[in-house]
Every structure is written in structure tokens, then in C-alpha cells.
Amino acid sequence: MKIKVLGSGCAKCDKVVDNVKEAVKELKIDAEVEKVTEVQEIMKYGVMKTPALVIDEKVISSGKVNKAKEIIKYIEKER
């Protein structure tokens, strides 16, 4: 599984990255977590608000700081 957090590198984006890592650890799954800060790359996903959460190239959420429990639900749904 590949999980990306799209954002400019702001504090909210960093928090989502931390929450994703916490969710992956709690689920004990093998997932690659990547932080994408390049504007051109973010635009490829059609995201207008960051932070955005992308799981296996599918935009799951944008414009909010997802809590680890929310991310766990998203991951389980996408598995």
C-alpha cells in the first residue's frame, strides 16, 4: 500500500503525516508513506485544498487534518 500526504509542508500537513504513520503502526501493515510538497505533483491529483490524503493513487480526503482513527478506517476500506 502506498499512502501520500499532499501539502506545502505546513504544520497541518506534518500532523497528517504523523497521523498516517501512527495508523500504519497501529494496523501493523506494510505501507509506504510519502509526503508530496511539489505543487506540480499535487495538481496532478486535482486537489484544491491541502493537506490531502491519497491511498494507492486515490484521493481520499482534502482540506482537513485527518485523525489516526479516521485514517485507519480509510486504510481498512481501501485494502
Q: What angle do CA 56, 7, 29 make, to 5 degrees?
A: 35
Residue 37 backbone phi and psi in degrees, to 5 = -115, -10
**Active-site residue set:** 10, 13
What span, in angstroms and rounded, lies between the C-alpha atoms of 27 and 23? Answer: 6
Residue 76, C-alpha cell as written in the block: 481498512
Bridging pattern class, strands 32-36 and 52-55: unpaired
